Amino acid sequence: MSEHKAVLQIKELKEIANLKPYVIVGVPEVGLVGTIVTSYLIRQLAMQEIGYVDSESFPQIMVVHASEPKYPVRMFQHDDIISFHSEIPLAPRASSYLASEIVSYSVAKGARAVIGITGIPSKRRIESSEALQVFAISNTKDMLERAKDAGAEPLEEGMILGSYASLLKHCMAMGIPNLTLLAESFPEFPDPEAALSVIKVLSRMINIDIDTKPLLAESEELRLRLRELMHRTQQSMQEAVKLAPSAYA
């Protein structure tokens, strides 16, 4: 399918066909916004685990949930939504392979769009938790318009780094719609409130009904429990940042 199939494989536990899905991707990066969003969607929509991703480029980690060993990068499905969720930070090479295979998979499944969710470091975030803005980047005018109608602001100038840049790049190369939603967030603290602002935009865009109250109520607890993941994510993001001129878009 693609040049990276040898080093990274997406394994379906359940065959997915004729869905024309939205593929939503959450990996730990800026403020852990992406992973907080995908894990919340998985729980609130009671999404079904339908597969996992394995790669020699991933760190040697398995996770255990309710006494069951699991791959740290898994895929979930509910109605026409497929979500890729990573519980571990990925080094630049691994995240690039992952992005490439997710896009190939999305093309093969006739996906309507690949949606990447992350944060954008914001200086004013520290002063305010009200009305956090969500920025949108897309390779199609249609997706950008829809994001705008749902309350996002098209990003006019700036840059994105890491997994989400890879996703966008591979979507452009394969000619499939990509949407990247970036919430104003703390770069180095877990940011459930930023995740909340993305969920509001996303739910309007793809017509899902999500109760956001539990996320707000759990916000402080999540910040406490996600410290270690944030810390490790910071370390791995620093490697990616070294290659870029500035972390601030």
Binding stretches for other proteins (CB under 8 A): 126, 129, 186, 188-190, 219-221, 223-225, 227-228, 230-231, 235
101 versus 191: smaller Cβ distance to other proteins: 191
Q: Compare residues 68 and 156 and give the one whose CB is closer to other proteins.
A: 68
Q: How many whole angstroms separate alpha carbon 101 and alpha carbon 174?
A: 11
Q: Name which of 146 and 223 has its Cβ closer to other proteins.
A: 223
Shortest CB 18 distance to other proteins, Å: 40
Residue 81 near residue 208 (C-beta atoms within 8 A): yes
| Longest CA–CA separation in the chain, Å | 47
Q: How far is the CB of 47 from other proteins (least distance, A)?
A: 23
Nearer Cβ to other proteins (11/225): 225
104 or 233: CB nearest other proteins: 233
Output the smallest distance, CB 231 to other proteins, in A.
6
State the minimum distance, in angstroms, from the CB of residue 228 to other proteins: 6
Q: Are strands 8-12 and 48-55 parallel, antiparallel or unpaired?
A: antiparallel
CB of 72 to other proteins, least distance (A): 15
